[in-house]
Amino acid sequence: MMLDISYQLVIDTCLKRGFPSDIRIVFIELSNNPFFLSTLMNKKNKYQNVGNDLIFDMIVAVYISNRKHFLPIVHHEIDDLFFQKDIPRLVLGLHSKISSLLPIVINNNIPFVLVSDAQKRVKDVAFLRGADPNRINFISSDNSCLLNAKSHLKRNYLVYSMIDFSFNHEPMYSKLSDRMLKLGRLTQSPTIFGLSCVNSAGELTYVSKNLELTADLDLVKQNILSFIHQHKPYSEFNFDKLN
């Protein structure tokens, strides 16, 4: 199969550098390559990532497909609420190649459950990042999803769920579901929304905001859209009904 030229450059750079676990080395080399950057013009991946976020995703994709170990640097600005093990917490986010949060919750022994149907892939990626995949508990996104999530919230688990989805199998994740916001409101669980951005050094920064779910739901949704736009100004999301 003919590979996209930009992906071929990522593969070549990874191979040349010997897949270092510090992927910043590959990131810096690629982001200083004007030809590589020119191949990314007007490019967006399915998570709507461009620029540094896109380069990072491409490198991670190559590492994962080659089953190479990697340790991305993650900075985080997380409210203390996140680490409080005696209250339920609902943490919402956007899909991405890798999660900034999983190693944090695993390494801090936070009881948590992830809403995902991609269990094998999530476990594989956790393993490649040196996090114990057996510590990840899952809830499937079927029609008992919210009940299962509620059950875990009642036991003071951190429930982690992505709220973006692709509409009618379109390639891009561009829709947001409000069902987890409704769960947070109905169960009166403290709810956080967060996402990750990649800086020019190839390091991840996880940023989050607490959601005030007692406010009008449309206002909460608008706050989420504004927060995403603030950190990913090129992305286009809107709320829609999840099929």
Partner 1 sequence: MNTELAVLSIIKKFSKGNSEELSINTSIRHLNFDSLDFLEFQMAIDDEFKIEVEIDDFLKCNHVSDIINLVNIYCNKK
> What residues line the site for partner 1 (CB under 8 A)?
141-148, 150-151, 154, 179, 182-183, 186
Q: Which is nearer to partner 1, 145 or 172 (CB)?
A: 145
Two structure tokens written together for 25 = 């080395």
Query: How near is the Cβ of 140 to partner 1 at its closest, in Å?
Result: 10
Q: Which is nearer to partner 1, 43 or 182 (CB)?
A: 182
Q: What is the 3-state secondary structure (H, E, C) of 216-242?
A: CHHHHHHHHHHHHHHHCCCCCCEECCC
Sign of torsion, CA 123 196 161 240?
Answer: negative
Two structure tokens written together for 9 = 């450059």
Q: Which is nearer to partner 1, 204 or 220 (CB)?
A: 220
Query: How near is the Cβ of 147 to partner 1 at its closest, in Å?
Result: 5
Query: How near is the Cβ of 179 to partner 1 at its closest, in Å?
Result: 5
Query: How near is the Cβ of 191 to partner 1 at its closest, in Å?
Result: 15
Q: Using an 8 Å Cβ cutoff, are 35 and 55 in contact?
A: no
Q: Which is nearer to partner 1, 44 or 95 (CB)?
A: 95
Cβ-based neighbours of 157, under 8 Å, separated by 6 or more: 88, 89, 111, 112, 113
